Amino acid sequence: MLDRLFLPLLGLIAVAAVAFAMVWPQGLGDRSPAPFGSPPVQRTPAMQAAMRRETEAAQRRITQARAAVRSLQSQAIAPAE
C-alpha cells in the first residue's frame, strides 16, 4: 500500500481509537472525565456493604479453617484416651 494512503489512514485510526476510549464505559475503575462515564459501581454504598460482608465472611471461614487445623494437630500430638 502506498505510504500516502497508509500513514494518514493509520493516523485516522489512532485518533478514532483515542476518541473511542474516551467514551467507552470505564467498568469498575475511576470515572471518565466530566461529560462521559458514570459513577463507579464499587463506590456505591450498596456495593461497599456487599464487599464488606464478603470480606467478613472470608475472614470467618479462614478463622474456622485455622481452628479446625489446630484442633486436628492437637489431637494428633496428644490423642484422647
As a whole number of Å, the CA-based R_g of the chain is 27
d(C-alpha 17, C-alpha 66), whole Å: 50
Q: How confident is the model at residue 80 (pLDDT cuts 50, 70, 90)?
A: low
Burial class of residue 26, CB neighbours in 10 A (0-12, 13-18, 19+): middle
Q: Please check whether residue 37 is in contact with residue 24, taking contact to mean a CB–CB distance below 8 angstroms.
A: no
Mean pLDDT lowest among 3-7, 17-21, 30-34, 66-70:
30-34
For the whole prediction, is pTM greater than 0.75? no
Specify whether the backbone of 71 is left (phi greater than 0), alpha (psi in -120 to 50) or beta.
alpha
Contact by Cβ (8 Å): 12, 25: no
What's the pLDDT score for residue 61? Answer: 98
In this prediction, residue 81 carries a pLDDT of 59
What confidence tens digit (pLDDT) does each residue in 32-44 have?
666 666 667 777 8
